[in-house]
Structure 1
Amino acid sequence: MPNPQLYVDFNEMLEPDLVLLSAEDTKRDVAGALVQLREAMAIDVYMDDVNERGEPDNLVASGRVEKNQSTGWGSNARWCCRIDEHGIRHQSDLGKQD
């Protein structure tokens, strides 16, 4: 079964590999289905972006759900996504040799 694809705002990074995910225990995926979030759940996250020609080219990453431990500006969220070693990339770069 593929990982749920969930929207995030990559401008809300708490750490270089940690992005805010949700203030609730559920979040709608790209297809509109309600996803129950849980610790260590594998997910894919994305954010709208465009390439240099103005064409859609989402920013994407994969990672795992974790409880938010932040005490700062992002403390209102319950869940975050810890982004894996591949980091944040453009969708058009997936599958290209590193």
Structure 2
Amino acid sequence: MTENRISVDFNEMLAPDLVLLSKTDFREDSSGKTVHLSEGLLVYIYEADIDDDGLPDNLIAQGLVERRPDGVNWGRVAKWCCRIDGGGVKHESDVRAAGRS
């Protein structure tokens, strides 16, 4: 990973572009730095994953922090979500391969 990223679980998607991010105003990123979450903050997110050969190949995305929408029942414990930008969720290897094209 080139950017410090916040770990998420992409199985906790509220919408195709919205993932639960945090129950509190603070999350630790991949470098151990505490990130203060606020509306509109750009964040880089990831979920650990492996490729077909068993090698690390994280799922990554970026987006803006926003409050969890009202009316969400199963995700109501979360305060913050990440609205993933148009780039969507990708494997790191796909991003690296695209950079070499």
TM over 0.5: yes
Aligned partner of 2:62 in structure 1 is 62
Aligned to 1:84: 85
Percent identity, aligned pairs only? 45
* Mapping 1:45-60, distance limit 5 Å: 45-60=45-60
Aligned twin of 1:22: 22
Q: 3-state DSSP class of the match of 1:94?
A: helix
Equivalent residue pairs, number: 97
What SS does the aligned partner of 2:20 have? strand
4+ residue stretches of structure 1 with deviation over 6 A?
none
TM-score normalised over the length of structure 2: 0.89
Mapped partners of 2:35, 2:95: distance in 1: 24
Q: What do residues 11-67 of structure 1 show as CA deviations (whole Å, max 9, x unaligned)?
A: 100000000000000000101111100001001100000011110000000100000
Q: For residues 3 and 56 of structure 1, do their structure 2 counterparts lie closer, same or farther at Cα, with a shift above 3 Å needed?
A: closer
CA RMSD across the alignment: 1.8
**Separation in structure 2 between the aligned mates of residue 91 and residue 3 of structure 1, nearest angstrom:** 12
Shift of 1:69: 1.2
Greater fraction of residues in helix: 2
The 8 Å contact of residues 61 and 83 in structure 1, kept in 2 or not, is answered as: yes
**Matches of 1:50 and 1:93, distance apart in 2:** 13
Shift of 1:5: 1.4
Preserved contact between residue 23 and residue 79 of structure 2 (Cα < 8 Å): yes
Contact 1:4 1:35 (8 Å CA) reproduced: no
| Cα distance in 1 between the residues matched to 2:3 and 2:56 | 22
Q: Which segments of 5 or more consecutive residues in structure 2 lack a partner in the other structure?
A: none
